[in-house]
Amino acid sequence: MSVKFRKLALIGIGLIGSSIALAARRQGLADVIAISTRKAETLEEARELGLGDLYTLDAAEAVRGADLVILCTPVGAYESVMQAIASSLAPGAILSDVGSVKQHVVNVLAPLVPAGVSLIPGHPIAGTEHSGPSAGFAELFAGRWCVLTPGPEVASTQVDKLVQFWEAMGSHVETMEASHHDMVLAITSHIPHLVAYNIVGTVADLEAATQSEVIKFSASGFRDFTRIAASDPVMWRDIFLTNRDAVLEMLGRFSEDLSALQRSVRMGDGPALEAMFTRTRAIRRSIISAGQETAAADFGRPHEATPTPTAPVFVREHGGGDDA
Amino acid sequence: MSVKFRKLALIGIGLIGSSIALAARRQGLADVIAISTRKAETLEEARELGLGDLYTLDAAEAVRGADLVILCTPVGAYESVMQAIASSLAPGAILSDVGSVKQHVVNVLAPLVPAGVSLIPGHPIAGTEHSGPSAGFAELFAGRWCVLTPGPEVASTQVDKLVQFWEAMGSHVETMEASHHDMVLAITSHIPHLVAYNIVGTVADLEAATQSEVIKFSASGFRDFTRIAASDPVMWRDIFLTNRDAVLEMLGRFSEDLSALQRSVRMGDGPALEAMFTRTRAIRRSIISAGQETAAADFGRPHEATPTPTAPVFVREHGGGDDA
């Protein structure tokens, strides 16, 4: 477990890139950490945060001599990044990424990978709703899974090195085929985000008065959805553009199930509703016992220790109702 | 703000009932707290937790002489509870509840309320996914809204007393018509729960191997949905049985929006997706600035401070993929 790279190049330095920089530094996984990103202001932010050792707007310069290159940009930028860096990649280097889809990444990158470079796409299943270099933290990957999808042509010694890198940052690592990854993530991640974006969008379309009530009373369930619907829009656009088939397949199942549930509501079928609401509890228990979630109530959200004194907000509204 | 009741009777002692008992005790809002519930073992649990002063399986006994009675049972039990207690309610008493639907509650309770008793239905917009007497805590209502839906026949002095009671427990209080409450809660609470139950149900129907992968990789979004889908099944059955029209109306809007989003995915319409994913961020910011949510990443979920040493779980699975 004493893997160490001479030079780690991170192309893109958002939430994931900055967390890798911090975790790799803390665990001593690279002699040099080079950071490259497209925007000068983001690069300056990374420099001020002290995330790496070398900072450059030129991705080709960052990857020169690197034995581990990780693309941390939105997936939509991979092709242009790859065209910029391909001729500068060092023989023997590992080229990886952190994108949320994998088959598309293989399709885009594989044709451009020079001989002697090992393409091992990766996906750390970790994140928060925050974006940008200042959102990163070294513990982001601790106890979380990282999926690697190396093709059969990659030497297992190279895969082992990348596995050790992620394990040293606290991740559990699993390898699988890219297409299988995409199907599993469609249901664990892409459909939940689509549904969350959708319900928040439905609320955004309500008239202003009702919308302010929804915000006021959001603790009744709605606010849970808004967290993931606040994730990076460009990243999520790219995910839906590049994992379309698996998303549409899983969305089809979701919609069929929703129609059945809607029918139970319409028919007033109490036993069917109760049965449905009971069986879903087991899934949460499994997630908690798998160490992927806290058992604390309300996600462990803070609750105020003492009631706050509040201005009186007592308003009689008998005439203002809405019979909808 | 020095409201004090002689005797507070809580009928039902789950998450909400036990939290009221603890908060009312802490704030000195009642001389005596009487607790009644249907099951002997739950009553015994409440007694061991020291939640009240009097414990009885006979709801009529609990309400005798009480100047504030709050029904904290599932809504489906209100009719039988009311038949049991109606003749024992003291003149001048306030009769309230904590149910998540309000028009149905009015329909059920109003015809059975004796003359001289003020019916003021209530709904504290607070809760966690945990149930039962041991799930309660005194801070549950702090900074949260409580909606009261008194009919026009109720004296405002009675409403004021109940407003003060909830404010003393830390709530902001708003009054509105029952039917308006039901429409707002359909979108803030009932549809989010229905959608969460639905997606967790879709996962529950997947083959076992895939389901275990979903659990493993649930940190990618899915686990957020499982919290509210772990809420009390009987309570939620009753909500959907009793707020059917508003739920079906809002579900219709949600489904229309989802069809439009599905079409954007199918057509690969990047600009439409990005626009959708951008506008939803504003809603979360509003919820945070309204004090209804924490701004901490990941709901403030704990992240491990140092990577845990883990057994190697490196498994090459090149043959085990699924091309779906």
Instruction: With CB atoms and an 8 Å threshold, state whether A276 touches B201.
Output: yes
pLDDT, averaged across chain A: 90
Give me the torsion for CA of B72, B78, B80, B85, rounded to 10°. Answer: 60
Burial class from Cβ neighbours inside 10 Å (0-12, 13-18, 19+) for residue B185 reads: buried
**A158 contact residues in B (CB cutoff 8 A):** none
Residue in A206, A265, A274 closest to B248 by CB: A265
**Domain assignments of chain A as residue spans, ordered by start:** 5-176, 181-294
Determine the pLDDT at residue B315.
31
Q: What is the pLDDT of residue A307?
A: 39
Type of residue found at A160: D
pLDDT per residue as tens digits for the range A165-208: 999 999 999 999 999 999 999 999 999 999 999 999 998 888 88
Asked if B141 contacts B99 with a C-beta cutoff of 8 angstroms, the reply is no
Domain A181-294 has CATH 1.10.3660.10: yes
Start-to-end Cα distance in chain A: 62
Per-residue pLDDT at B208: 83
Predicted local confidence at residue B304, as pLDDT: 57
How is residue A102 annotated by DSSP?
A: -
* Contact residues on chain A for B267, CB-CB shorter than 8 A: none
Choose, out of B226, B274, B318, the residue to mutate when testing the contact with A (most A CBs < 10 Å): B226
Is B316 close to A175, i.e. CB distance below 8 A? Answer: yes
The reply to whether residue A302 touches residue B302, judged by beta carbons under 8 angstroms, is no
Rg (CA), chain B: 23
With CB atoms and an 8 Å threshold, state whether A280 touches B312.
no
pLDDT at A55: 98
Burial B196-216 (b: 16+ CB within 10 A, else e): bbbbbbbbbebeeebbebbbb
Contact B280 A189 (CB under 8 A): no
Asked if the Cβ–Cβ distance from B240 to A179 is below 8 Å, we say no
Q: What share of chain B is helix, strand, coil (3-state, %, to 5)?
A: 55, 10, 35
Helices B270-289, A191-204: axis angle to 10 degrees equals: 70
CB pair distance less than 8 Å for B229 and A130? no
Q: What is the pLDDT of residue A132?
A: 92
Q: Above 60 in pLDDT, residue A98?
A: yes
Q: Are the beta carbons of A248 and B266 separated by less than 8 Å? A: yes
Q: List chain B residues with CB under 8 Å of A202.
A: 187, 191, 250, 253-254, 257
Q: Are A132 and A177 in contact (CB under 8 A)?
A: no
Banded pLDDT at A309 (limits 50, 70, 90):
very low
- Whole-number pLDDT of residue A304: 57
Q: Which of chain B's residues have a Cβ under 8 Å away from the Cβ of A100?
A: 220
Give how far B61 is from chain A: nearest CA, Å: 31
Q: What is the pLDDT along chain B (324 residues), one digit of tens a residue?
A: 579 999 999 999 999 999 999 999 999 999 999 999 999 999 999 999 999 999 999 999 999 999 999 999 999 999 999 999 999 999 999 999 999 999 999 999 999 999 999 999 999 998 888 889 999 999 999 999 999 999 999 999 999 999 999 999 999 999 999 999 999 999 999 999 999 999 999 988 888 888 889 888 888 888 888 888 888 899 899 999 999 999 999 999 999 999 999 999 999 999 999 999 998 888 888 888 888 888 887 777 776 543 343 333 333 333 322 222
Which among B100, B173, B226 is the nearest to A287, CB-wise? B226
Cβ–Cβ under 8 Å, residues B172 and B145: yes
Assigned CATH for A5-176 = 3.40.50.720
Burial B70-90 (b: 16+ CB within 10 A, else e): bbbbbbbebeebbeebbebbb
Q: Which residue of A has its CA nearest to B289?
A: A215
Give B118→chain A minimum CA distance, Å: 16
- Are B175 and A316 a contacting pair at CB < 8 A? yes
* The pLDDT value given to residue A285: 87
* Interface contact A244-B265, CB threshold 8 A: yes
ipTM value: 0.81
Interface test with B, best of A163, A169, A280 (most B CBs within 10 A): A280
Contacts of B141 in chain A (CB under 8 A): 307
Does the beta-carbon distance from A188 to B299 stay under 8 Å? no
